[in-house]
């Protein structure tokens, strides 16, 4: 491996390591926000679900909800 390639590899690895450190800090911040919400009486499990749902494309979410309703209806659950 050339010196230039080694230098580039080192730069890439160091950038990944820095991003991993930032990710760890952000994950800790998110954990603290959920703890704060729980302390105020919010249901953390539901909050996580809301966050996940809001990430989805609206049309895809509506399609999944329609299929879920269909399945539950077929099982007599609705």
Q: In tens digits, what is the pLDDT along the chain, a chain of 78 residues? A: 899 999 999 999 999 999 999 999 999 999 999 999 999 999 999 999 999 999 999 999 999 999 999 999 999 997
Quickly list DSSP for the chain: --HHHHHHHHHHHHHHHHHHHHHHHHHHHHHHHHHHHHHTT--HHHHHHHHHHHHS-HHHHHHHHHHHHHHHHHTT--
Q: Domain residues for 4?
A: 1-40
- For the chain, the domain total comes to 2
Task: Say whether both 33 and 54 belong to one domain.
Answer: no
Task: Say whether both 33 and 52 belong to one domain.
Answer: no
Q: Count Cβ atoms within 10 A of the Cβ of residue 57 and give its class: 0-12 exposed, 13-18 middle, 19 or more buried.
A: exposed
Task: Say whether both 24 and 51 belong to one domain.
Answer: no
pTM: 0.72
Q: Which of 56, 25, 50 is nearest to 37 (CA)?
A: 50
Tens digits of per-residue pLDDT, 19-38?
A: 999 999 999 999 999 999 99
């Amino acid at each position: 491996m050339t010196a230039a390639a080694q230098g580039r590899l080192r730069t890439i690895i160091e950038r990944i390591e820095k991003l991993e450190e930032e990710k760890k800090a952000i994950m800790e911040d998110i954990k603290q926000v959920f703890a704060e919400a729980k302390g105020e009486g919010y249901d953390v499990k539901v909050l996580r679900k809301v966050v996940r749902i809001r990430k989805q494309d609206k049309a895809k979410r509506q399609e999944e909800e329609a299929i879920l309703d269909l399945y539950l209806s077929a099982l007599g659950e609705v």
